[in-house]
A and B are shown apart, each in its own frame.
Chain A
Amino acid sequence: MQKINWLSRYGAALLVGLLGGNVLQAQERSSLNMPVGVTDVSQKVFDLHMLILWICVVIAVVVFTAMIYCMVKFRKSQGAVPSGPSHSTLAEIIWTVIPVLILVSMAVPAARTLVEIEDTRDTEMTVKITGYQWKWHYEYLDEDVGFFSSLAADSNAARQLGSSIDPATVENYLLDVDNPLVVPTNTRIRYLITSNDVLHAWWMPDFAVKKDAIPGFINEGWFEVNEPGVYRGQCAELCGKDHGFMPIVVEALPPADYRAWLASQKGAI
């Protein structure tokens, strides 16, 4: 009985996740699929992902049907006699040309999205992100505000080997920090990213942003958050023993609230 419940739960979730990814609210995360996210870019990346996924599903259905048909239809035990051709130039041309056309239909929207992502002009403010073993540092350029952002204390206590604290009792286990990065909504924000020691990668799934932090080099990119909220991600490049324990939290505030927050930070220093 329990097994059936479990199956139906995941069966339904699977269908919702794959078929209805679009209808899910941004805040209501699917545990099966990529988040739609809260930026125009993340929406486009999500659409691209669903497009390729569906193309793959359709091709898979066609190809797997053909394979299964052969396996059912041409069985020796059913008296099948080998009679098929061992060569067909026409067929081979068809299954070379059609995939090329399908690939082009994927490459065009992909290239368009990529061009948009890489266009870092016209940004309104800049945040500098620096990876450390094992925490992040955020600096608001020209604002004289900067701080470290480390794993929240309750997660840190629970994640110790043999801590006997049940992670399920910790709110946002491993996805919470002491000081989140605070940004204004509806603002085109440029980020510069580097590292103080080894490679890290700043991954924020809701923004479709993942960029490597490389010591001695500065990478750049941008995002513009459409909805206020708290967004969570993690370091994505193996950076040593606590690689799994340097989460990323971004709090997006309406611009007025953001300015108030920024002023309070300056006061704090």
Chain B
Amino acid sequence: MSDATTHDTHEHHDHGPDRGLMRWITTTNHKDIGTLYLIFAFVMLFVGGAMSLVIRAELFQPGLQFVNPDFYNQMVTMHALIMVFGMIMPAFVGFANWMIPMMIGAPDMALPRLNNWSFWILPFAGVLLLSTLFMDGGGPASGWTLYPPLVLQTGDALPFAIFAVHLLGVSSIMGSINIIVTILNMRAPGMTLLKMPMFVWTWLITAYLLIAVMPVLAGGVTMLLTDAFFGTSFFQAAGGGDPVLFQHIFWFFGHPEVYIIILPAFGIISQIIPTFSRKKLFGYESMVFATGSIAFLSFIVWAHHMFTVGMPLAGQLFFMMSTMLIAVPTGVKVFNWTSTMWKGSLSFETPMLFALGFLFLFTIGGFSGLMLAIAPADFQYHDSYFVVAHFHYVLVPGALYGAIAGAYYWLPKWTGYMYDETLGKWHFWLSTIFVNLTFFPQHFVGLAGMPRRIPDYAVQFTDFNAMSSIGSFGFGFSQLLMVYIVIKCVRGGKKATDQVWDGADGLEWTVPSPAPYHTFDDAPVVK
């Protein structure tokens, strides 16, 4: 046993990765797989982004100029599915793959072959999902929520879209198992749970959420499939079923999913703010506790997405109040991040700028979320552009900014070179101006009565929609700048030191930059 281990280690040190395409197809190395995830997510950012630009082009003016309403609905649906399952979730799994082993002093993920498989499912699932756009009847056009009975009116695409969702779910579950096993079993000696970096903590909790809810989604969409093709009536009233049942199933998955998306971003922000404040994270233990509380509460709030379905009063009161409670641990997090900066020594490199953008703009999304929790007011907000503004604030300058901040933060460690700081700052300011121009006006049109998911609107909403469309094109094209910055950084630049950031703390900064193909073959000792 020990013989085999030494031999293995020895071999890797001599040869490093395979050459060419086979390296990437057969790799079991956490860094390679992390890179694959990140590249895949980055590509999908532009695929999903292009769809949002189709949407915003159509909404630039009232009247239908470019697409018919059915194709518009396909774009709305695919944009969301691609961004949620194809972009933001894989991006954070990429960060997990790259960083968790290096942060806990492990040589690799615990289950490397499973790791390879969970990535390589993704491109096929993504292509399958995108291919539904070319099928008879077009892609799914029911919104990403896939509510029956409407979703059952989908053409040939329905079983393929559902199978794609299954595959994406399988990939997520395998990735989560791997992350949990790695964190619980492969920490370096001395790395107790309460010494783990916040990013590792948030991913541990996220992985449990994923394992708990992805099977629920898989079950729900499978019931759709049997309703459509095998004569069951889970969701069809004519056969004794209930369309609202699907909504309960979907949101029992869907609300924890929201935190699956945001918790890893919380983790990244909790790494970056201390580094650039040159202080320890304020209230580490309460941060861990707050993350756990958010995860727990996420299971008992789902029906706040459904206040208008006709729930009993007691149900509405329960879901209103449980939802409001989430503001408490979320507030704790925001206050802790702010206190980390208090009497620190702040500098404003690009990762910090995106982290601060997150701090301000995610908080705005948090406030609109609190407003949406108030059931009587939600009767006005629900399914209006106010909701669209809310969730884009938490997803774009929230989750996506978390991912972008993390990319700038660790790029020097990944590539061995510093990225172009000036361009990075340009990327931040352009993104931040345009993201607000895109989404802030949507609060107003929503309150004034514009429903979401419509391809055309009444003329009083024209000005704000035009602003929003201009903002979205600006935001979309600003992201091309990041492509340039990343490619430039990969190809060379100022050499990065091992420490990279003078205020950074953690095991990943003790290994060379770029991080060698294998790190921590001998476990470090954490004091």
Pairwise interchain contact B376-A96, C-beta atoms closer than 8 A: no
In whole angstroms, how far apart are the Cα atoms of A53 and B370 in the complex?
Answer: 10
In whole angstroms, how far apart are the Cα atoms of A32 and B440 in the complex?
Answer: 11
B142 within 8 A of A: yes
Pairwise interchain contact B346-A87, C-beta atoms closer than 8 A: no
Binding site for B on A (CB under 8 A): 10, 17, 29-35, 44-45, 48-49, 52-53, 56, 59-60, 63-64, 66-67, 70-71, 74-77, 80-88, 91-92, 95-96, 99-100, 103, 106-107, 110-111, 113-115, 117-118, 158-163, 165-168, 172-175, 197-199, 201, 203, 205, 208-212, 214-217, 219-220, 233-245
In the assembled complex, the CB of B286 is this many whole angstroms from the nearest CB of chain A, namely: 5
Q: Known interface pairs A56-B367, A199-B243, A238-B142. Does A74 touch B346 (Cβ–Cβ under 8 Å)? A: yes
Chain A residue at minimal CB-CB distance from B461: A31
In the assembled complex, the CB of B350 is this many whole angstroms from the nearest CB of chain A, namely: 15
Residues of A contacting B348 in the complex (Cβ-Cβ under 8 angstroms): 71
Name A48's contact: one of B325, B377, B453 (CB within 8 Å).
B377
In whole angstroms, how far apart are the Cα atoms of A82 and B244 in the complex?
Answer: 54
Pairwise interchain contact A234-B345, C-beta atoms closer than 8 A: no
In the assembled complex, the CB of B497 is this many whole angstroms from the nearest CB of chain A, namely: 18
Pairwise interchain contact A241-B68, C-beta atoms closer than 8 A: yes
Pairwise interchain contact B73-A238, C-beta atoms closer than 8 A: yes
Pairwise interchain contact B459-A95, C-beta atoms closer than 8 A: no
- Name, among A17, A35, A106, the residue most crowded by chain B CB atoms within 10 Å (CB to CB): A106
In whole angstroms, how far apart are the Cα atoms of A99 and B367 in the complex?
Answer: 12
Name B447's contact: one of A34, A165, A233 (CB within 8 Å).
A34
Residues of A contacting B284 in the complex (Cβ-Cβ under 8 angstroms): 86-87
Pairwise interchain contact A49-B377, C-beta atoms closer than 8 A: yes
Q: Known interface pairs A107-B320, A168-B459. Does A236 touch B344 (Cβ–Cβ under 8 Å)? A: no
Pairwise interchain contact A45-B377, C-beta atoms closer than 8 A: yes
Binding site for A on B (CB under 8 A): 62-65, 67-70, 73, 141-143, 147, 149-150, 153, 236-238, 242-244, 277-286, 308-310, 313, 316-317, 320-321, 324-325, 327-328, 331-332, 334-336, 338-348, 356, 359-360, 363-364, 367, 370-371, 374-377, 379-380, 382-384, 444-445, 447-449, 451, 453-464
Residues of B contacting A118 in the complex (Cβ-Cβ under 8 angstroms): 313, 316
Residues of A contacting B149 in the complex (Cβ-Cβ under 8 angstroms): 197-199, 215
Pairwise interchain contact A103-B324, C-beta atoms closer than 8 A: yes
Pairwise interchain contact B278-A82, C-beta atoms closer than 8 A: yes
Majority SS at the chain B contact face: helix
In whole angstroms, how far apart are the Cα atoms of A163 and B242 in the complex?
Answer: 40
Chain B residue at minimal CB-CB distance from A87: B283
Pairwise interchain contact B331-A106, C-beta atoms closer than 8 A: no
Pairwise interchain contact B444-A95, C-beta atoms closer than 8 A: no
In whole angstroms, how far apart are the Cα atoms of A240 and B498 in the complex?
Answer: 55
Pairwise interchain contact B321-A167, C-beta atoms closer than 8 A: no
Name A211's contact: one of B281, B282, B310 (CB within 8 Å).
B310
Residues of A contacting B338 in the complex (Cβ-Cβ under 8 angstroms): 63, 66-67, 70
Q: Which 4 A-B pairs have the closest CB atoms?
A: A216-B237, A84-B343, A244-B454, A219-B310
